[in-house]
Amino acid sequence: MENGTKFCPHCGNQLSADAKFCPRCGFAMANVSDSVSQPQPEPAPTPVEPVQATPQRTTDPTANPFTWFIESLKHPAEPIVGANPWFGPWLLVIELLINITVIYLIDSESRAFVSSDFDFYDDYVNKIGSKSFLAAFGLGMIIFLFILIHLGLSYGIRRLNDTHAELNFWEFTNHFAGISSFALIISIVAFMTTIFIKVNATHSANYWVPQLLTPLTLMFNLSYVYSTIRETEKPRWEKLYVILASEVLLIVICAGIIYFLVKQHAMPVL
């Protein structure tokens, strides 16, 4: 044995050469031959908890707009970093064009049953013209204005609430469009619905247009609220207060714009 030491055969404790009992477990060393070296037991291996690997994306979501959209649709709450800054704006434009087409199809079919001055477009159609395309394009621009309000307000509130946020406006637009990516599915469904709905004097554009645009409005409102509180590193205010303030600001600004447009006879009177 090296350095005149030995080990307890019962518990493996290191002992001096003249020890008769193990101070740890009390084992008697009298029956153990000094000439036999006691092997030091190997320490029990420390259990290591398995680390779950983060699931990796099978495709590069920044490669093209299609893969970016599919990944955003699967995981709308997870921002895609490094994507082309034009992916988000183009998605919003496509959604807008689809809804303009929806309005145009319903409006043109309604005119076969109802005169061009029916309630929903009364002052509005007289202002910009009686053609369905002009009416659809005008309403589409109003929808576009409200999308910009949602986007601008959510970006401003987020910057005020989190001064450490490093997102620029275009990156934020991409993230906002990613959250609201399901709006494209809603728009496509609305477009397909125009094939099956029955437009007549009772259920004309003044009935169907609000029905088809309501889900899209709710989707953008949800995206607007969520984008103001998502992954805020050092928020100044509680999330509940941020949500309440966001909704109040949105209602006040949109109501003011609607009031102005109605006074200028540039928007339909519901």
pLDDT at site 49: 56
What are the residue ranges spanned by the domains of the chain? 1-40, 65-263
Three-state secondary structure call for residue 13: coil
Neighbours of 124 (CB within 10 A): 21
Please say if the pLDDT value at position 228 is more than 80: yes
What secondary structure, in 3-state letters, does 255-266 show?
HHHHHHHHHCCC
pLDDT mean across residues, the chain: 76
pTM of the full structure: 0.65
pLDDT at site 117: 39
Neighbours of 57 (CB within 10 A): 13
Summarize pLDDT for 58-108 with one digit per residue, the tens.
567 677 888 888 888 888 888 787 788 888 889 999 999 998 888 888 887
Summarize pLDDT for 148-183 with one digit per residue, the tens.
988 889 888 888 888 776 668 888 888 888 888 888
Summarize pLDDT for 235-255 with one digit per residue, the tens.
888 888 888 988 898 889 888
